Amino acid sequence: MKLPKEVRNIVAGGFAGMLAKSVVAPIDRVKILYQVSCAKFHLRNVPKVMKNIIRDEGFAALWKGNAATMIRVFPYSGIQFMVFDR
């Protein structure tokens, strides 16, 4: 059974958006840590902050919170891809 073009575009766009967001998730996590930091952030070096996260919380901690982002990104990217492909 072949799916309609719109459905295929939504799925393709959704997965593409999820992949793109997952690639930049570690950098986004560092940005969020900067934004919510109460004290003045003493490290302004992104690689050093990432190294500290890995040391203190483990490698997977770079993607902490990414599941919630995926729930938001899939429909947004999928619908956007479908609309722009028309």
Report the pLDDT value the prediction gives residue 65, as an integer from 0 to 100: 93
- Return the DSSP state at 65: T
Runs of H (alpha helix) within the chain? 5-36, 46-57, 66-85
Dihedral angle, C-alpha 15, 18, 20, 26, nearest 10 °: -160
- Please tell me the pTM assigned to this model: 0.83
Question: How far is Cα 26 from Cα 50, in angstroms, rounded to an integer?
Answer: 8
Per domain, the residue ranges of the chain are: 5-85
pLDDT of the chain along its 86 residues, tens only? 899 999 999 999 999 999 999 999 999 999 998 888 766 666 678 898 899 999 999 999 999 999 999 999 999 999 999 999 87
